[in-house]
Structure 1
Amino acid sequence: MILLAILAGLACLPLIVTDAVFLVEVLLGLRSSGQGGLARPSGSIALIVPAHNEEGVVRASVEKMIAEAPAGTRVIVVAHNCSDGTAEQARAGGAEVHVLDEPDRRGKGYALAGGKAALMAAPPATVIVVDADCTPAAGAIARLAATAEKSGRAVQASYLFAPRRDAGPIVQISNFAMLVKNLVRQRGGRRIGAPALMTGSGMAFPWPVYASLDLATGNIVEDLAMGVDLVRRGRAPLFEPRATIWSHPSSEQGTGTQRARWEGGFLATARIFGLPLLLRGIGRLDWQMLWMGLHLLTAPLTLLLILNAAAVALWGVLWLIGAAPLVAPIAALGLCGLVVVAVLAAWALAGRAMLSAATLARLPLYMVWKLALYARIVRGRETPDWIRTERVD
């Protein structure tokens, strides 16, 4: 019986550590950041817009980017393996267009590499990557460029889905989870000097940094891999909470595809790099590596809640059969409660626009949906391809 309790304690130790990481990031990230003064980048800027079959949204997005960017900013749409009118719509919106037809090279990373090639003849001071379905908030482009110039490092904006409280519960809860991940936790990490995770859209790079990146890969989370690579090179990215990039949320079916791609890619990256980064950070006394490793080893929000619920159930069973004292399930329940309270605080202070109270109450049903999704990921039934996701306008 004692052996069972010891084994359960060892199994739960990583969960305790990652719960602590989550709580630190969320609780420190609840306070909003000030707006700051007007950002004034001095160097030239180029926006690279990777696009795959985005004819329905790319023109409006490009027009918004041009309107919001500082004068003289180049907007280059990389129409990658498109079978529709993406290139024509991008030109109509005022963008430069770089067409790439390479059916054997599928993935956003190849599009970003094509954008880099298009800039080699006349490199800008700063490159900013914005997805074709995204629009920058007022001042976001200038602030990203100014921060990248000043720091000499890669910079990640707050990349969020526009609130849609009239959408279904899966969409609303997914959008809220993205807000926790891409704003609240990133903001908390910034306050302790932790590196930012690169999240795909709203990524700014000084040209020498962008030119040094290995982009031509089919990695389905190439943004996350970029950030890991920069941390390993001692050039950890920064988070800029005062710059926001908005995207339209997906439909419920599209949300399932997105979550499978993003979370499957995150879990695969965490499996490869999480523990090595953590151990290397400890060995080298490198805070950036250590925290990046810890962050990668921390499960996404819904999976973290599921794991905590499982830990409570495990210790409850061990107590019932006499293998653990009552304090064990009480402690597990208390830790799970802290995570839930942090999530509720994030909703109350930052997420009300994303998620109605009625939908929040349906979170347990969403967790069941996510369990089925994770089962498909484990069985390898989700496509790794870069595909266009249906969106709700």
Structure 2
Amino acid sequence: MMSFAEVTLSLVACLCAIPVLTLLAEILASLPSLRPGHLAGRRPSVAVLIPAHDEREDLDATMTSVRGQLVDGDRLVVVADNCRDDTALIAEAGGAEVVVRHDPDRRGKGFALDAGLRFLARTGLPEVVVVVDADCRLRPGAIDRLAAASVALGRPVQASYLFTPVLGGSPAHRIGAFAARVRTIARPLGARRLGVPCPIMGSGFALPATCLSKVSFASGHLAEDKKLGLDLALAGFAPHFCPEAEVESPLPLGEAARHRQQTRWEHGHIALIKAYAPRLFREAFRGRDLRLLAVALDLCLPPLVGLALMSGLVLLLTAGWAGLGGAEHPMLVAGGTVGLLCLAIVLAAWRWGQGLVSWRDVLALPSFMLVKLPILVGALTKPQGDWIRTDRVRQRP
């Protein structure tokens, strides 16, 4: 009869294997080359909504990338949210309809989106609303593809979110860019090919008007976009990935800015796991809904560094137990999990890291993991509660 310790270690090893298997399945499905898709369906009426907080340096270029894709009847709306600069004046000069919002007690992108959607509801709601962050650029054809797919499917649609590394960045910067590419392109593409939804990733997503009243947008959550995707999935509107539509944004170059961004992302992600995973699994099993089950499994996949640290720790614990004379099967499961995680990372680097990271950057992994470790520990012991805008250092020509 197995002891309590053996049962516990076996259970922990098996639970740790689930997110690794999820990651491996997504990476394997993402490996085949992407064939260009054809624009199908009619082009609906569109409003592009840009939430902006102190974005005077980036907003004009973002609006330029949007205006060239608008057609007669489309609208461009900028929400100048708690701004201390002339974001509103720049937006107005660029031909946008401007919503000025001042509410320092309710800060965050979710509240800005809510204000913009309320404005659209009062002044004429289009068939599709496309959300673009003020520091992003839409690549040509993105709005047409997002809007047509969203109205055809009756679901939110997420574009490929390209985080572009800055030339001259450190190995840690390049590793962070690779991890972001896996999170925002490889995994969603794999999920689509497996026939399951993707998360909303922050910018470049389209919302059909039919789903806007089903969820609340007013939120100051650190991961407000991912939270919105989970709420929509629970309401029956799980997001769909459209890799042919692309939006790009630079990764922050400075160490302090990158640390703030990673802290916000990962603290927000872990908070969502604790808040949403039980409900997602419950609703998935109750309704026999494979889409919700896939959303729950994807949500429970922690950041790559966190997953590696967790898998390594479980392997050390189970190996220690076996060394003390305990059963070996928990160690074998944990060892297999670490092996599969390494396989997933190698395949992802081969397919998605070309031109971005080199094998020499592997030497920077220990220091990268040491930097990330306090962020992950802090997410469990003292999670960040306030939304903080990430400053980006632009690459100069």
Amino-acid identity (%): 34
Once the two structures are superposed, the pairs formed by residues 18-37 of structure 1 within 5 Å of their partners are 18-37=19-38
Question: C-alpha deviations, 1:335-391, integer Å up to 9, x for none?
Answer: 212211211211111222332332233223211211111123334263522424233
Distance 1:302 1:41, change over 3 A: farther
Q: Select 2:326's aligned residue among 323, 327, 330.
A: 323
Once the two structures are superposed, the pairs formed by residues 263-302 of structure 1 within 5 Å of their partners are 263-302=266-305
Report the TM-score when normalising by structure 1. 0.94
Q: Are residues 1:55 and 2:22 paired? A: no
Match of 2:98 in 1: 97
SS in 2 for 1:184: helix
Match of 2:343 in 1: 341
Contact 1:46 1:127 in 2 (8 A): yes
Question: C-alpha deviations, 1:62-92, integer Å up to 9, x for none?
Answer: 1112124445532211110000121122233
Match of 2:65 in 1: 64
Contact 1:63 1:94 in 2 (8 A): no
The structural deviation recorded for 1:287 is: 0.6
Match of 2:237 in 1: 235
The structural deviation recorded for 1:39 is: 5.6
Please give the alpha-carbon distance, in whole angstroms, between the structure 1 residues aligned to 2:203 and 2:32: 23
Indicate the larger mover: 360-369 or 284-293.
360-369
Contact 2:92 2:98 in 1 (8 A): yes
Match of 2:150 in 1: 148
The structural deviation recorded for 1:213 is: 3.0
Indicate the larger mover: 209-218 or 180-189.
209-218
Please give the alpha-carbon distance, in whole angstroms, between the structure 2 residues aligned to 1:20 and 1:56: 42
SS in 1 for 2:336: helix
Distance 1:32 1:383, change over 3 A: farther
Q: Aligned AA for 1:50?
A: P
Contact 2:266 2:375 in 1 (8 A): no
Contact 2:261 2:390 in 1 (8 A): no
Please give the alpha-carbon distance, in whole angstroms, between the structure 1 residues aligned to 2:196 and 2:38: 24
Distance 1:11 1:94, change over 3 A: same
Report the TM-score when normalising by structure 2. 0.93
Please give the alpha-carbon distance, in whole angstroms, between the structure 2 residues aligned to 1:38 and 1:69: 16
Distance 1:381 1:289, change over 3 A: closer
Indicate the larger mover: 375-384 or 170-179.
375-384
Please give the alpha-carbon distance, in whole angstroms, between the structure 1 residues aligned to 2:70 and 2:366: 42
Match of 2:211 in 1: 209
Please give the alpha-carbon distance, in whole angstroms, between the structure 2 residues aligned to 1:381 and 1:332: 28
Once the two structures are superposed, the pairs formed by residues 2-17 of structure 1 within 5 Å of their partners are 2-17=3-18
Match of 1:355 in 2: 357
Match of 1:250 in 2: 252
Q: Aligned AA for 2:294?
A: W
The structural deviation recorded for 1:23 is: 1.1
Question: C-alpha deviations, 1:26-74, integer Å up to 9, x for none?
Answer: 1112223221124664221111000101111111111112124445532
The structural deviation recorded for 1:331 is: 4.1
Once the two structures are superposed, the pairs formed by residues 110-125 of structure 1 within 5 Å of their partners are 110-120=111-121, 121-125=123-127
Q: Aligned AA for 2:76?
A: V
Distance 1:66 1:356, change over 3 A: farther
Contact 1:40 1:142 in 2 (8 A): no
Match of 2:136 in 1: 134
Please give the alpha-carbon distance, in whole angstroms, between the structure 2 residues aligned to 1:381 and 1:295: 21
Question: C-alpha deviations, 1:178-225, integer Å up to 9, x for none?
Answer: 111111111111122212101110110111212443112222222112
Q: Which runs of 5+ in 1 are unaligned?
A: none
SS in 1 for 2:63: helix
Please give the alpha-carbon distance, in whole angstroms, between the structure 2 residues aligned to 1:351 and 1:22: 16
Please give the alpha-carbon distance, in whole angstroms, between the structure 2 residues aligned to 1:30 and 1:306: 25
Distance 1:2 1:66, change over 3 A: same
Contact 2:79 2:98 in 1 (8 A): yes
Contact 1:250 1:391 in 2 (8 A): yes
Please give the alpha-carbon distance, in whole angstroms, between the structure 1 residues aligned to 2:73 and 2:355: 35
Q: Which runs of 5+ in 2 are unaligned?
A: none
Match of 1:218 in 2: 220
Please give the alpha-carbon distance, in whole angstroms, between the structure 2 residues aligned to 1:213 and 1:275: 19
Please give the alpha-carbon distance, in whole angstroms, between the structure 2 residues aligned to 1:283 and 1:72: 43
Contact 1:2 1:324 in 2 (8 A): no
SS in 2 for 1:119: helix
Please give the alpha-carbon distance, in whole angstroms, between the structure 2 residues aligned to 1:86 and 1:244: 25
The structural deviation recorded for 1:2 is: 4.5
Q: Aligned AA for 1:264?
A: H
RMSD: 1.9
Contact 1:70 1:141 in 2 (8 A): no
SS in 2 for 1:77: strand
The structural deviation recorded for 1:128 is: 0.4
Please give the alpha-carbon distance, in whole angstroms, between the structure 2 residues aligned to 1:389 and 1:189: 31
Question: C-alpha deviations, 1:113-145, integer Å up to 9, x for none?
Answer: 111122122111110000000001121111001
SS in 2 for 1:361: helix
SS in 2 for 1:22: helix
Q: Select 2:193's aligned residue among 191, 194, 200.
A: 191
